[in-house]
Amino acid sequence: MIFKFLEQDLFSRMKIFLCLVIFFSGISNAIARQPTTAELEAIRKETKIVFQSFLQLWQEERYFELYEYGKRHSKNQLSIEEFATRMVELDWVPVGLLPEKNPEMNYRYRTLLYVDAEILFRHKSFIDLQFSKKQSFLLLKEKGKWRFDLLQMIRSPFYSP
C-alpha cells in the first residue's frame, strides 16, 4: 500500500514536471520566433526606403510603375490599365509627408506590417486646396519584396485598411 501511494505521488510529480517542461519550452519557442532588435531595425530601414519610393511614384503620378508595388491579391483584382485609369480619375494626389511627422512602422509579423504616415494631399484641379490626413498602409512581403494594397490606393485618401 505504501508503494502504491509512493507510485501515485511519483506519477503526479512527473505529470507536473512534464507540464512545466512543456510550458517553458512553449515560452522559449515564442520568444525565439520574435525578431531581434537588429532584425527589426533592418525591416524598418528596408520598409522606409520602399515606402519613400512608393510615395514618390504616387506623387509623380507614375501609375504603371506604382502598379508593380501591388500585392498579388490586388493585381488579381485589378489589371494595370484599370488601376492606372482609376488613379487618374482620383481628385487628390499626395504632395508629400508632413515634415514634422516621420512615418511609423507598426510591426505585426516578419512579412506583414503597417506604415502610418501623415500625408499632405492637394486637389489636382485646385492646387491651393490641400489637407493632411493620417494614412495607414498595409505592407505584405511577397517573394522577398514589400507590396502594397492597390485597392487602398484607388480609394485614397479616404480609405484605410
Q: Could you tell me which residues come within 8 angstroms of residue 45 by beta carbon, excluding any fewer than 6 positions away?
A: none
- Cell for 48? 522606409
Please say if the pLDDT value at position 154 is more than 50. yes
Q: How many whole angstroms separate alpha carbon 126 and alpha carbon 115?
A: 28
Residue 111 backbone dihedrals phi, psi, to 5 degrees: -115, 15
Contact 45, 24 (CB under 8 A): no
* Tens digit of each residue's pLDDT (9 = 90 or more) over 45-64: 999 999 999 999 999 999 99
pLDDT (0 to 100) of residue 29: 47
The pLDDT of residue 33 is: 64
* Mean pLDDT, residues 118-141 taken together: 92
Buried residues in 141-150 as b, exposed as e (16+ CB within 10 A): beeeebbbbb
Q: Read off the pLDDT of each residue in 150-161 and give the average, rounded to a whole number.
A: 78
Average pLDDT on 121-149 reads 92
Share of the chain above pLDDT 70, in %: 78
pLDDT of residue 28: 47
- The whole-model pTM stands at 0.72
Residue 58: all three cell numbers together? 504616387
Rounded Cα gap, residues 147 and 145, in angstroms? 6
State mean pLDDT over 123-133: 92
Q: Which among 158, 156, 160, 161 has a CA at the least distance from the CA of 63?
A: 156
pLDDT digits (tens, 9 = 90+) for 69-116: 999 999 999 999 999 999 999 999 999 888 888 888 888 888 889 999
- CATH pick for 37-153 out of 1.25.40.10, 3.10.450.100, 1.10.1060.10, 3.40.50.11540: 3.10.450.100
Query: Is residue 32 over pLDDT 90?
Result: no
